[in-house]
Amino acid sequence: MSVVYNWEFVGSVIDSVEVSLLEMWRRNDHCWTSSHGSESESCERRKKTKDSKFSISGFSSFSSTSILIIILSLLSHQLSPTHGAVNSPPLITKQPPTDTIFFQVAQRVDENDKPFIIECEAEGYPESQYRWIKNGKDFKWQAYDDRISQQPGRGTLVVTAPRDEDIGQYQCFAYNSFGTATSNSVFLRKAELSSFKDDTLETLVAEEGKPFDIPCNAPDGWPKPRVDWMFQTPNGAIKNINSSRITVDPEGTLRFSNVTQSDMSTEFTYACSAYSSFRNEYKLGNRIFLSVNPTSSSSVQNKVAPYQQYMTKKGTVAIRGQALELWCIVGGTPLPEIRWSRTNGRMPYERVEYDNYGKTLRILNVDTEDAGSYDCDASNGVGVPVSYSIGVKIEAAPYFTVEPEVINAAEDESIEFRCEAKGEPSPIIKWIHNGKPIEEAPPNPRRSLEGPLIVFRNLLKSDTGNYGCNASNSLGYVYKDVYINVLAMPAEITEGPKDAVVMEGKDAMMTCRVFGAPRPLVRWLKNEIELTGGRYKVLGNGDLQIDTVSFSDAGAYNCFASNKLGNATSSGKLIVKTPTRIIDGPENYQVTAGNPVKFGCTAVSDDTLPLQIEWLNDGAPIDFDSEPSYVKLRDNSLAIHKTTELHNGLYTCLAKTEYDNITANATLIVQEVPNQPRLLSVECRPRDAAVRWKAMGDNRAPILHYIIQFNTSFTPESWEIASKDVPATESSYTVSMKPWANYTFRVIAKNSIGASPASDHSDVCTTSEDVPFTNPENVKADKAEPRSLRITWTPMSEIDHNAPKFKYEVQWKEDDEHHAWRTETIHDWKTNEFIIPNQPIYRPYLIKVRAINEKGQSNVAPTIVRGYSGQDTPTQAPSNFTLVTKISAKRVLVSWDPVSPESLQGKFEGYKIETWTDADGEDVYRPTIVNYDVTKAVVDKLIPFSRNYFRVFAFNSDHQGPYSTILDVITDEGTPGPVEDLEVRPLGVSSLHLKWNKPEQPNGILLGYQIKYASVNGTEVKWNELNERLPNISHPEIVTAKLAGLKADTVYRVYVAAMTKEGAGEQSFVEERTYAENATTIAKPDFQLDHDQTLNELASVRVSWKPNFEASGRPGSHFFVQYRKYRQTKWISTEEVYNEDSYVIRDLDPGLPYTFRVVAVDGIKSMPSDEQEIYTYAIDAPTIRAKAASSTTGWFIGLIVAIAFLVLILILVCIIKRNRGGKYAVYEREIAHGRLDYDEGGFREYAQAPSEEPTGRTPMVSDFKPPHESDSDSMVEYGEEGKFTEDGSFIGQYGVKKKDPNLPSPLATFV
């Protein structure tokens, strides 16, 4: 809205000055709030700037107030302050609830009226006026004197003195010249609580142990009063009832699940109470005196099966959004345990509460998915359990799914109001226009109802007005009043985009709030390119939403708003940073108190942003200075060194930067044993005591059960268990007591962590005397000396004496018709035997032992037991003990003649055969027992390949008879016993090393060992892959072996058995896994060199190695040998050796130094050993040559003599040449002998031959380098007898030289 003025000021004319009235109003310390409900940032700044200036077409600046005064003075007939406000229909901002408002009217002299209000408030321009209706008619509150008033500038009614006539249905209307807004309709009701109709004292009688109900005739009231039951003492004091056995149902009936003597009214009565929460008023009535008839049986035996007392009806309706309570009150003795379940879906545990000791299931904030069937199961171990199913149906008061919104639009536009709602039953939707049903509104051809829509086409200014949507069903209604405002204003950006920082991957929001009519079109541009579609979304309020921002989205963004009356633009910058991430968050802990806990948290953030890690406990930051039990470590983890129950809770790792933060949560549950139960009381009765207690907390580990203990005056220092599994739902237990004792009791609670400290002990319960209730147990007659009768029993503890002067009455007689009972009294209650001497050997007797005290004999008859007098040693040895036949190396058949029955002198048990060897000795025998009616038996406990001895004797229950004659037999060779100390260790990825000791029982001459192996999958041996290592080990002294060719990272079961000529013996086995193929190092192998027998005068060297288990790294799966002559660099490699630990290298030149090393191989990696040298020579061995004739022998002797003569001449020549001082050109002689590998300068005889490239495997260490040559080294090269002449010439050329492999014999050196 703008006006064009032609101003004449001080002789000057200002042409076509266009001033926005809205802008002028805002610059004059006024701010106008847009329909979006927020003021612009520029407006806020202007509020803070009191001296802001306003200039027109280059004129000097004046204060905005001065300019406005001048304009108003000149054009007062055209302008008014109201031009700065935007006209709009009313919009309700405060209104009454949709259901009921209660009010209280004074009913007693000491009671005051309680004022209340009915809210109604609206915004709009011009300012709204208000009117009310009551029960559908205009309500003139002014007619109620000063008792009812309306708040100034608002429609809220204030009722200062409520009266009964205020009851009714109220509704508020706010109106101005552009429309009428309608509020919710609310019912005002007077809060009341009636009195009980009957307050007389009534006496009721209940049976102990059975369920019992007491109804309550509760009074009426608004709102509905809460009914409860209480204990009322004669002086009028009241006390709440808190018992797992006693419950008040929703109808107010007091339900006893089972009645006990403690429920009897002694110093109190039961009183029903009604409570009005609104009036905060209690009323008592229905006072009951309860008498309890005791049961005829003991309280322990008094049991009642589960019985339904009160159940929620099977078809129950719940209202969405409210709480649902399902009841299951079941009586019985013991108290039934109740469990809830859902049959057709998941129980919503996050919204479930249990009340009344599990009898009430409460579901909070009920929703449609909670409909279904809920089951209550109750059992107490008696009779048939109770099972009850409750079907739940969910109904819902109406609620909006799509609400109509306020619309500001321009003429010629088309708009729509949308209103959708749900409910059960389905709601009916009706529209209201300016406070009346739309059907009663004036017809409008541009307006149409289309289902849930009101559609306007080609708007006109006259279409401005209020519209309300009402959705209602039988449960209530929901209503919202909005308006359409038809305006004409140029596009304006009321809140432009600001520079924003957003993290990569997050959604960004660039603000651009606009206002105008017609509604401005908002476009966003970046780099002069319009942003549409994909990740870019321009919202209805003009903001730009960018989904999943990437670094390429960084830059400047321009917001452009336009309509037909004008346009505006504003820009802002978007900066994109790397988001903070927690890469390793804390983990949940459930620990026992006292244990340490460490929560780790590792995070990363943008490189340009400093990162902080903080810890929170239950949402509150942890102050490490004031809470020393928490320690923040250098790696930002949180440590609690000694947890207590105070450390329970949710721990949050907060990783944050200036622009973002991220959290990771972990729960710590510190469990402890339960707290010490509180012993409430003990009720002493003649033969039992009722113990009552209260749990004082389970410390986050639910109580599993209670343990009831007692002690007596007989054992005051020890506590015995009366019951160790009292259900956790119980809070009382009845303990049986024995006569003539002082009892005290205590209770222990137990959870999964352990037992709680015991409760304080109870008062003493004392029982009266009585006769014994039992007799001694374990009465028997046995183990007596010959010719005596020994009667034994278990002494009765003092707690079973039941009275003073306790004693035993022992009776016995021979088991026949001719002997009478004889009696002996034992006065010492600790005695446990009685011996009668001079009795026949092994005769049957009848015996019994009875308990007696000063009250008399026990009230139960003693048990008669049959026993025998003492046995004696058998007198006869089995005769004719004979070796019938040898069956195998371990088994023989023997026979003997039976002994006579008279010689046994007791109960004949059988025969025992004892066998031993010379190595065992006679005292270390192996027994074989046979029945008394057997005279031939197989003895299978012989030792093969040994001399075995036998003997046999008869025995009775207490004694053994004399031995028979001793037999002996030499057994044949058999299979060996198991090898000892079998050990298997991995060498590498494909081999195992085995080591064992000889069997303890070779059972013959050991020939060697058999080895088998198979892979193992889990616990299952793959028998189809059982392999045998071939060849078998053929020497008994070899007790190590190697298995090669195995699979990597595989478990093998290895069997080793010793062998004799009879075959393999018992197998020993061990399981071991080969290494995985991830070796980092291989240990250097150890080895040794030995000369071996040679053939045809060529040297042989045996290379032996053993796995290196001591060094770090793997020993290696297999090996091979590398060797070379001294001074050579090229290694010669042998074949790879898999199953052996040595290798013989033959055909070596004798008389030369060789360098050796062993290479360990594991998979693709290898490791050479350190190098060793050996000087080869041919050891004594048979030489293969033709048999020489006698003439040949003579020729050979002559040849030797000639050679000796030539050597002598050579020595003489050297001596003569030396004495003459002749020179000897070493260098020329060297060349003549083929040494051409020297440089021209220096001492060429000390130079080293050129290197050669090595062959074979490439070692993991450098090649062997020979030591620096000494003078003696050079002499050896030419012979041991070489010497220098006086002029330094070397004459070793005439001594023994290195052997040329091309020459046929070493003798050629001397030519």
Lowest mean pLDDT among 231-235, 444-448, 552-556: 231-235
pLDDT in tens, 804-829: 999 999 999 999 988 999 999 999 99
What pLDDT, on a 0 to 100 scale, did the predictor assign at position 817?
A: 87
Q: Residue 251: how many CB atoms within 10 A of its CB? A: 11
Average pLDDT over residues 1146-1151: 88
pLDDT in tens, 1231-1250: 444 444 444 443 333 333 33
pLDDT in tens, 389-405: 999 999 999 999 999 99
Kindly indicate the confidence band of residue 514, based on its pLDDT and cuts at 50, 70 and 90: very high
- Please give the C-alpha separations between residue 1274 and each of 1111, 1127, 1144, 1223, in angstroms, as whole numbers: 39, 13, 31, 19
User: Taking the alpha carbons of 1241, 1243, 1244, 1246 in that order, is the dihedral positive or negative?
Assistant: negative
Say if residue 1284's pLDDT is above 70.
Answer: no
Say if residue 223's pLDDT is above 60.
Answer: yes
Name the DSSP class of 866: E
Name the DSSP class of 995: E
pLDDT in tens, 946-955: 999 999 999 9
What does the alpha-carbon distance between residue 376 and residue 326 come to, in Å, rounded to a whole number?
9
Say if residue 761's pLDDT is above 80.
Answer: yes
Which pTM does this prediction carry? 0.43
Contact between 728 and 705 under an 8 Å Cβ cutoff? The reply is yes
Q: Of 28-42, 187-201, 938-952, which one has max mean pLDDT?
A: 938-952
Residue 817: both structure tokens together: 């018709």
Does residue 1266 or residue 775 have the better pLDDT?
Answer: 775
What pLDDT, on a 0 to 100 scale, did the predictor assign at position 775?
A: 96
Instruction: Please give the helix or strand (H or E) that residue 1027 lies within, else none.
Output: strand 1027-1028
Peptide bond preceding 334 in cis form (omega within 30 of 0): yes
What pLDDT, on a 0 to 100 scale, did the predictor assign at position 301?
A: 63
What pLDDT, on a 0 to 100 scale, did the predictor assign at position 1126?
A: 82
Average pLDDT over residues 34-50: 36
Say if residue 1052's pLDDT is above 90.
Answer: yes
Residue 846: both structure tokens together: 């009848």
Average pLDDT over residues 19-41: 34
What pLDDT, on a 0 to 100 scale, did the predictor assign at position 784?
A: 83
Say if residue 835's pLDDT is above 70.
Answer: yes
What pLDDT, on a 0 to 100 scale, did the predictor assign at position 297?
A: 62
Kindly indicate the confidence band of residue 750, based on its pLDDT and cuts at 50, 70 and 90: very high
What pLDDT, on a 0 to 100 scale, did the predictor assign at position 1068?
A: 94
Per-position b or e across 823-853, b if 16+ CB within 10 A of its CB: eeebeebeeeebebeebeebeebbbbbbbbb
What pLDDT, on a 0 to 100 scale, did the predictor assign at position 1077?
A: 84
Kindly indicate the confidence band of residue 638, based on its pLDDT and cuts at 50, 70 and 90: very high
Kindly indicate the confidence band of residue 1194, based on its pLDDT and cuts at 50, 70 and 90: low
Give every CB contact of residue 483 below 8 A, 6+ residues apart in sequence. Answer: 88, 89, 90, 91, 124, 178, 179, 181, 406, 407, 464, 465, 466, 467
What pLDDT, on a 0 to 100 scale, did the predictor assign at position 71?
A: 37
pLDDT in tens, 277-335: 787 777 888 888 999 888 866 555 678 899 999 999 999 999 999 999 999 999 998 89
What pLDDT, on a 0 to 100 scale, did the predictor assign at position 295?
A: 81
Does residue 382 or residue 756 have the better pLDDT?
Answer: 756
What pLDDT, on a 0 to 100 scale, did the predictor assign at position 1247?
A: 37
What pLDDT, on a 0 to 100 scale, did the predictor assign at position 232?
A: 87
pLDDT above 90 coverage of the chain, percent: 61
What does the alpha-carbon distance between residue 117 and residue 119 come to, in Å, rounded to a whole number?
6
Helix (H, G, I), strand (E, B) or coil at 476: strand
What pLDDT, on a 0 to 100 scale, did the predictor assign at position 683?
A: 93
pLDDT in tens, 709-743: 999 999 988 999 999 999 999 999 999 999 999 99
Please provide residue 70's backbone torsions phi and psi, each rounded to the nearest 5 degrees: -60, -45
Average pLDDT over residues 202-223: 88
pLDDT in tens, 142-161: 887 788 999 999 999 999 88
Q: Where are the beta strands (DSSP E) in 343-456?
A: 352-355, 360-363, 372-379, 386-402, 407-410, 415-418, 420-424, 428-433, 436-437, 447-450, 453-456
Mean pLDDT of the chain: 83
Instruction: Please give the helix or strand (H or E) that residue 1230 lies within, else none.
Output: helix 1226-1232
What does the alpha-carbon distance between residue 340 and residue 662 come to, in Å, rounded to a whole number?
39
Average pLDDT over residues 1035-1043: 92
Average pLDDT over residues 1155-1165: 91
Say if residue 897's pLDDT is above 70.
Answer: yes
What does the alpha-carbon distance between residue 1306 and residue 1088 come to, in Å, rounded to a whole number?
29
Name the DSSP class of 579: P
Lowest mean pLDDT among 47-56, 109-118, 242-251, 269-278: 47-56
Nearest to 806 by CA among 830, 788, 824: 830
Average pLDDT over residues 540-562: 95
Give every CB contact of residue 933 below 8 A, 6+ residues apart in sequence. Answer: none
What does the alpha-carbon distance between residue 1308 and residue 1311 come to, in Å, rounded to a whole number?
5
What does the alpha-carbon distance between residue 1199 and residue 1208 come to, in Å, rounded to a whole number?
14
Lowest mean pLDDT among 184-198, 350-364, 584-598: 184-198
Say if residue 343's pLDDT is above 80.
Answer: yes
Per-residue 3-state assignment (H helix, E strand, C coil) for 1082-1095: ECCCEEEEEEEEEE
Does residue 1127 or residue 1154 have the better pLDDT?
Answer: 1154
Average pLDDT over residues 671-677: 95
